Structure 1
């Protein structure tokens, strides 16, 4: 087998099937990453969504015993949408992060990786491989960095020379010992714009993230959102792009290469009030094809309530009262009461008082009391 010839054939084929960047890395242990993950674990900076142990995340041979190389791929996605709908006083809107604008990127990347795997198997029938997309054990970013796709920026995103950080990443672990590509030089320099702009201070220092404070993580949790973050989330219903938007490497970066990554504006910037009453079936039909739906509707509805409070949307009061009175989920009832208090109309406070008199759940009652406490803010306006 001529490995150099095969490598070039794979590169050529990748362009035909819609892979924007491809790189080859060794399957050696990710020693530096291992130490960093252990530090993250000790500091409790984990999100809890990570798959596998530290060893599984840094030792490719644990995932494929014959591992010799890892093929890393990147697919660019848009940073701007055409004719985005405006949020108005009559119809307040939320926003999904850019990585969740089009078809679920797991589907897109898996399609490309499966085609790549099939192509390699045609050339080398005895090959062994394992593909991973985000939900796998390996760190997509660590693999991409080693494979020369881009460098790891201070915002912890892989930044490519061509597409900035607006790329989806996936990898194929294989037993073929390809010649590895050279990593890309880090060019963040002295810039700290992402650290300075992070709404919650989640970027502790360049390249270190406390996921427990990251809005992208917080929007995906299902419990009550801690108070300190409720005023930071704004109208985000899923994810956060701040550290990417402010990055100078992303200035004027906007690629519309793949139709499946294009956003439906009505889904990417959804009306908030209708999200409060959406049924499971409607939710699946409307949002089921995007990655932002993976945790179900509960976190998004909680975030929508916080978004309406952010706007102090008086027109939503009647709708939110219905949620507070009738929703069977304590987190949603409690967040609705808090939201009503932030909006701060007489009708809202009266409804909270009425609901508090019959509410049995202690945490919901606590949230209702917090909602009533906003009277002091309203009287001081």
Structure 2
């Protein structure tokens, strides 16, 4: 299966960026169920860029238009993942699209698989201090989805972390949740990067209960990241 043609198809299906992760890079990652990755060799990671004018409406809290946009982009990701899965299967492979945003374990805020971890392994971006995937073109102003695939593909390489000494997300976080700890590739645990319970409490008990929000989002660290504020030309 031609990996470049597959990625081009993913973009035609609605993705802004598509990359391929070797699942060997994710060996040992927690999944639900534990055997989720069995029988699959790769994951196609799709990113959809968020609207800059909508992100710019965020100040120290989410806005109703951001909440609506967030949900609409999740629906677009699910549709694109389904189309890519069908395309892989039509070419003789196996594919399993995972939902873009579905919490299975509410206590630990976990889903089937971390789309952020897949995106980092696929080279869509690096893992920022906020735990978000930071794209060199779009910063953290992206939403993600993953498709597990068993087919002959060529994986992409991860990117070097470029957060450096920047403290924008740490300084702006309304929950004081970001520890300002950098990593070369990925954090050993969420707690290494975040006071995770502070983040979860803020999005669930503060933001989700704001008027016309109704979902667990914040968006402040997305808005302030300098990698998203100034767009860069896509890599050749």
- The answer to whether the superposition gives a TM-score over 0.5 is yes
- Report the alpha carbon displacement of residue 13 of structure 1 after superposing the two structures with TM: 1.4
TM-score (norm 1): 0.48
**Of 153, 159, 165, which residue of structure 1 is paired with 2:140?**
165
- Report the alpha carbon displacement of residue 165 of structure 1 after superposing the two structures with TM: 1.0
- Report the alpha carbon displacement of residue 236 of structure 1 after superposing the two structures with TM: 8.9
User: Match for residue 173 of structure 2?
Assistant: 198
* Unaligned residue ranges in structure 2 (runs of 5+): 103-110, 183-192, 232-236
User: Match for residue 44 of structure 2?
Assistant: 71
The whole-number CA distance in structure 2 between the counterparts of 1:97 and 1:161 is 25
Answer whether contact 2:88 2:94 (CA < 8 A) is retained: no
Answer whether contact 2:18 2:47 (CA < 8 A) is retained: yes
The answer as to 2:186 corresponding to 1:220 is no
Distance 1:121 1:163, change over 3 A: same
User: Residue 89 of structure 2 aligns to a residue in which SS?
Assistant: helix
Answer whether contact 2:120 2:159 (CA < 8 A) is retained: yes
User: Match for residue 9 of structure 1?
Assistant: 5
Give the number of the structure whose residues are more often helix, by fraction: 1
Identify the structure with bigger relative contact order (alpha carbons < 8 Å, sequence gap 6+): 2
TM-score (norm 2): 0.75
**Of 129, 132, 156, which residue of structure 1 is paired with 2:95?**
129
Q: What pairs with 1:1-381 in structure 2 (closer than 5 Å)?
A: 3=1, 6-28=2-24, 30=26, 34=29, 54=30, 56=31, 62-81=35-54, 95-96=63-64, 98=66, 100-101=68-69, 103-124=71-92, 127-132=93-98, 133-135=100-102, 136-206=111-181, 208-214=193-199, 217-221=201-205, 237=213, 239-253=217-231
Distance 1:235 1:106, change over 3 A: closer
Q: Which structure's CA Rg is the greater one?
A: 1
User: What do you get for the CA RMSD once the two structures are aligned?
Assistant: 3.2
The whole-number CA distance in structure 1 between the counterparts of 2:69 and 2:50 is 9
The whole-number CA distance in structure 1 between the counterparts of 2:149 and 2:11 is 20
* Unaligned residue ranges in structure 1 (runs of 5+): 35-53, 85-93, 254-381
